[in-house]
Each structure stands twice: as C-alpha cells, then as structure tokens.
Amino acid sequence: MQARRKSSNVLLDTALQEFYGAADEMGLSERLISILSRSERQVKVSIPVEMDDGSVEVYDGYRVQHSTALGPSKGGIRYDLGVDMDECEALAMLMTWKCSLAGIPYGGGKGGICCDPLNMSAREKEKLTRTYAARIEPLIGRWSDVPAPDMNSSGQEMVWILDTVSKMRGHLEPSILTGKPVTFWGSFGRNEATGRGVATCGLELMRILGRNPEDVTAVVQGFGNVGSYTAKTLNDAGVKIVGISDITGGYYSSGGIDIHKAFEVIRKNPKKLLTGFEAVGNCEKIDDVLFTEAEFLFPCARDGVINQDTAAKVRARYIVEGANGPTTPEGEEILDDAGVLIVPDFLANSGGVIGSYFEWAQNLQGAFWTEEEYNNKLVHIMKGNFRRVWDYAEAKRVKMRRAATMTAIQRVADVIAMRGMFL
C-alpha cells in the first residue's frame, strides 16, 4: 500500500483528505486510491513579458491534468498571486469530481499564472496570456485538454489563447477552449452559467425546505462573474439579497440591494469593481458580508474564507459554495457542529462547466443554440444533479459534500474499471 499524501497547501490537503475519506467510506481499492490521488500530468512554464516600462518580468504558469479517465481534461485558467502547482493540482482534482458528478464527458484539469492581474495593463496581460498559451500549446486540444475562464479571466483571455494556438497550428480550432465571447464562437448563456447554476442550487434547496424564495434573505460574497450572476438570478426569483461584496468591501441594505444598480456600477468601472456603490445603491458600506445576518450565504469570491477563525461568526443557516474551496475542513467542522448545511462547491458551481460542455458540443457541430434552449437545459441538469446528491446524502446519512464526492468517484472508478488501469 502506497503512503497517503499530505500537503502543506491547505487547498490541496483539503482535496486529498476529502478524497481519501470518501474513497474509504465507499471501499475503493487501494490501487485506485493511489492512482486517483495523483495527477496524470503537471506542467510548469516560465513566461517572460516585456512590461510597459521596458523592464522584463518572468511569470510562472501552470497546467495540471488530474484525470482524463472520462474524457479530455477540463478546467479553467486563473490569474492570481496565489496560483502555484499545489493549488492547480487541488483544483484539477476538484474538476474531475465536478465533471463526473455533472455527468459530462470530461476529466479534470486546471491552470493558471501567478500574477497580479488588477495591476497590469491590458497590453501586458495580452503578452502574458499569449506566451503562456504558446508554452502550454502541446497540451491543448478538443480531445485532450480544454481550458476555460476562471478567477480573473474571461472571454478576452480565451480569445488571446485561441488566437495564439490557432496561429501556431495554421487553422482555427474553436472547440479547444470554452467561455469564448458570444461574438466569437461562444454560446449564449455561458457567461451567466456558473451563477445561474449556483442560484439554481440555492432555489432547489429552498423548495425542498418548503420555503418561498420571497421570504428568504441572502448575502453573496464576491461580485465577479460567479457572484454577480448568482445575485441576479436569486434576485430575479424574489430572494431578498441584503448584502453583496467584492475586494472594495461589503455593501448592506436590510431592505434589499438593488442588483441592477450594482451591475451598472461594475459595467462602468474599468476594473469591474463595486467602487462607490454605497452612494448610488443607497446602502451601507461594511467590511464584508460573511458575518451578515441572512439565512443563506453564497461565498462566490475565493477559497479558504470560511475557516477556523471565521466559521463561528457566520450567521447563515445554509451555505451554497459558488467559489471553489471557500470552506476549510476546520471551518466546516465548526459549521457542522452548529447545524449549518453546506451545498459543496463542485455541485453548486458546476453550471459553469456544464455550460462549457454545451458550448463545446455546439462548436463540434458548428451549431448555435438559443439562449432559452441553453438555459433550460442547464437548469434542468442542475436541478436533477442537486436532487440526486440530496437523495444520496439522505439515504446514506452523510453530508452533501461526502455524498457528492462518493457519487463522483464512483463514476470515475467504473470507467477506469472498463477502460483498464494501465497502458
């Protein structure tokens, strides 16, 4: 029996220990445990960039393919100072479970560049992205590895990557990545898909609890791509959003935040931040919304925010994880003891990658769906997946995270058993 891995990186250790715990609970064989606790491929590249002032900075970039058992590895590319190999490995493993649980034909991958994107010019970001793309190009392909946006990346970064890879190959290959703008081989609905999926999980939970969304209060931490559309979808369904936040701080209104005004503010802000929202939104500026009184909390910002120092101060009864890894195991223990229910990240935010699958499928066929078709399919699949995990958790008397991990591992294990473990 091979020794079990531990990591000093919180996110990686969390992913590993949850995997081992679920694998043991379902009686997974030691050989599969050894295989799935490691990544199939980890690549590190250096990325020299000539900055606007003429100096040269060399950045570190990564791409990890955790598993390709179910299909091409799928996962985003993030731009953040916290990016390193361990973080990418953890998030790639999470993508394997996310795609498996979602029922889509992908394995798990993740990539990123360690940088401070908010303090770079558009030109610097473009150079950084294109050189990164050129260096990971051998990995990328519609049947091998299909990137997408993640923290601090969007359709623009995807177009730079697609354009660079296409020029290197001498032909355009739209299906090598997803999250492209609608005007260039993207799909209606993809931009909103993650947030729509997170909100759908929240609304399904309210339905199971017998609650009318109009009687429910919620706070949404993070107002990037995930948080903003989570808030909008919840708001459209009648939920009262009493607080939102981003890196500029928190914004609170007991009467409900005007989400449409918040969108206006980020649209006008060059960095897409909520700067000054308290004035136009007629709300109170606070530090953050993590500890705000509301029944539902949607952490949609970043990992590790609910931890041993913060968990006891959380007032919500239900947490739906929009970000990847927002709750540490220590934080979760405190919440478990307090009877707080958590809808785990790789179920709650799987709308993004399910939507990516829709985009990829359209690209392969040269087809274009309507927004209605896309959204209906997305919501239908999200509701079904949520219900499946809920029922499994009830039947096995385990937490939703454990139920989701076990379900996800089972599909990967079944396919590996059919395909064979070795070359």
Residues 280-339 that bind ligand GLU (CB under 6 A): 324
Distance, CA of 267 to CA of 276 (rounded, Å): 13
> In the bound complex, what is the minimum distance in angstroms from residue 1's beta carbon to ligand GLU?
32
Answer yes or no: are the C-beta atoms of 271 and 279 closer than 8 Å.
no
Distance, CA of 88 to CA of 3 (rounded, Å): 22
Binding to ligand GLU by residue 63, rule CB under 6 A? Answer: no
Give the SS3 label for residue 110: strand
Binding to ligand GLU by residue 89, rule CB under 6 A? Answer: no
The residues annotated as belonging to the active site are 110
Distance, CA of 75 to CA of 87 (rounded, Å): 13
Options 166-174, 209-217, 256-264, 347-355: segment touching ligand GLU (CB under 6 A): 347-355
Taking CB under 6 A as the criterion, the residue among 66, 74, 127, 196 binding ligand GLU is: 74
Cα–Cα–Cα angle for 155, 354, 161, rounded to 5 degrees: 25
Binding to ligand GLU by residue 75, rule CB under 6 A? Answer: yes
> In the bound complex, what is the minimum distance in angstroms from residue 78's beta carbon to ligand GLU?
8
Binding to ligand GLU by residue 375, rule CB under 6 A? Answer: no
Size of the site for ligand GLU (CB under 6 A): 12
Taking CB under 6 A as the criterion, the residue among 242, 262, 342, 353 binding ligand GLU is: 353
Measured at CB, which residue is nearest to ligand GLU? 76
Q: Within the chain, what is the greatest distance between any pair of CA atoms?
A: 62
Task: Please identify, using beta-carbon distances, which residue of 70 and 242 lies nearer to ligand GLU.
Answer: 70
Taking CB under 6 A as the criterion, the residue among 12, 136, 148, 198 binding ligand GLU is: 148
Taking CB under 6 A as the criterion, the residue among 67, 164, 178, 363 binding ligand GLU is: 178
Cα–Cα–Cα angle for 165, 167, 171, rounded to 5 degrees: 95
The amino acid that residue 327 corresponds to is T
- Please give the C-alpha separations between residue 283 and each of 139, 219, 360, in angstroms, as whole numbers: 47, 14, 41
Binding to ligand GLU by residue 349, rule CB under 6 A? Answer: yes
Sheet of 217-221: strands edge to edge? 284-286, 249-252, 240-246, 217-221, 296-299, 318-320, 341-343
Residues 98-117 that bind ligand GLU (CB under 6 A): 98
Q: Name residue, tokens 């927002």.
A: 326
Task: Please identify, using beta-carbon distances, which residue of 69 and 294 lies nearer to ligand GLU.
Answer: 69
- Nearest CA to 344 out of 368, 356, 326 is that of 326
Cβ atoms within 10 Å, residue 214: 10
> In the bound complex, what is the minimum distance in angstroms from residue 30's beta carbon to ligand GLU?
29
Task: Please identify, using beta-carbon distances, which residue of 75 and 250 lies nearer to ligand GLU.
Answer: 75
Residues 355-374 that bind ligand GLU (CB under 6 A): 356
Tell me which residues touch ligand GLU (CB under 6 A): 74-76, 98, 148, 150, 178, 324, 349, 352-353, 356
